[in-house]
Amino acid sequence: MSSDSPRISKEGDVERMTPVSTATKHNESIHQRVPIPPNQAQEGVGAALASNAAALGVQMHEYANGYHFPPKYPIKEQIRMGLVSFWDFYNTGFGFFLTIYSLNVVAWGGMLFLLLCNAGPQMCWVNGTYDCNHIDSPRRIWIETDSQILNGLFCVTGFGLAPWRFRDWYYLLQYRLRHDHDALRRLAGVHRGWFRLADSDQLPVNLGPKNVEEAVGGYNVDSVPLPLETISDAPPTGIRAPPTKMWKMDFIVYFNVANTFLQCVLSGFMWALNRYDRPSWSTGLFVCLACIAAAIAGTMMGIEGKHVKAIEGVPLNKGDLERLARDKELGIPHFNNIKDKDPEAVKEKKWFRKSEKSGLEVDNERQAFCE
């Protein structure tokens, strides 16, 4: 095996590829990318070399254990892989239920939207009179039917997840009011995908659910969730994510609980009052508030989970390893981050947009002053 060929190794059940590169190859790449004109000033040459070396360092960033993030696939391959993953998920009991549930929400929600937009004007006739807002018009009757069905669908998540949401709330209150650290540790075990306890980044990098009980005494127990086996998997990058700010846990728990309470209020209006007595503003208001509360909590969890993965890495499958090895032989570069993008180029793009926006604001101010 040559010095530039990838080494494939196995750690546990997860395969990883250890790319090996030499300083000679780095220098050759730098000289190939930086043509130096004869009449170029010495300062310009040094600046160009430093810039290209920095860009190469970002592209070829290596972790101590040789980990490399999965490559970014073309759109067609991403769609194909997504469809295969969805089909595997759909064939499970929970996947089938979630698919049917989601299709019902989309279908009845879409129908309600079309009714509110008056997409069916023929439904506005009542006893020979054209009145879309008449309480007995087919349009208003179907709006009520749609609203009741959607309310029932939202109750599946609002009330079905209530026991777990109130459990999280109970643990959070135990920690906040009684300073029970074990309650926080249990909460961290529930949200192991995105929440990290204080000093958890100081734990041994090889510590995971499989060996956490055997290694008791070799680490700070207060930095590990409860039960112990709910500890996050050993980070593939060999670097643990920093502790999560506590206000983010408060934020997610309280918004999830708020969704359940708002669903209770909505159900009270929908079930206790008929469509003749119910205030017209109540349905739309509480449906909107309940959806916003659930969306905010879910978005925060997704963002925090992505931040953790960007630091700790994600496991590579056989296809990822083969793709990285093949692209390396073909000279196709991959940036060693979760997005497979050049971070310097992203920063420059953001700076350009910001400067362009500032310049446009200045031009508008000048034009307004001249007028």
Q: Give how far Cα 59 sits from Cα of 68, 104, 235, 275, 351, Å.
A: 11, 45, 21, 62, 20
What's the pTM value of the predicted model, to 2 decimals?
A: 0.73
Evaluate if residue 206 carries a pLDDT over 70: yes
Evaluate if residue 18 carries a pLDDT over 70: no
Query: Residue type for 221, please?
Result: V
Two tokens at 298? 């879910």
Distance CA 63, CA 236 (A): 10
257: confidence class by pLDDT, cuts 50, 70, 90: very high
* Cα radius of gyration rounded to whole Å, the chain: 28
Two tokens at 44? 């310009």
Mean pLDDT of 275-281: 88
CA angle 30, 32, 38 (to 5 degrees): 100
Mean pLDDT of 358-369: 60
Distance CA 112, CA 105 (A): 10
Evaluate if residue 15 carries a pLDDT over 80: no
Between 96 and 350, the higher pLDDT residue: 96
Least confident of 33-47, 74-88, 212-226, 292-306: 33-47
pLDDT of residue 166: 96
Phi-psi region of 128 (alpha: psi -120 to 50; beta: other; left: phi over 0): left
pLDDT of residue 357: 56
Q: By three-state DSSP, how is residue 252 classified?
A: helix
Nearest C-alpha neighbor of 254 from the set 166, 186, 161 = 166
pLDDT in tens, 23-61: 444 444 434 444 444 444 444 444 444 444 443 444 456
Burial class (CB in 10 A: 0-12, 13-18, 19+), 266: buried
Please, how many CA atoms are within 13 Å of residue 88, restricted to the half-sphere of its CB? 6
pLDDT of residue 30: 39
Average pLDDT, the chain: 80
Query: Residue type for 204, please?
Result: P
Evaluate if residue 223 carries a pLDDT over 80: yes
pLDDT of residue 342: 76
pLDDT in tens, 301-350: 999 999 999 999 988 888 888 888 888 888 888 888 888 787 766 566 66
pLDDT of residue 28: 44
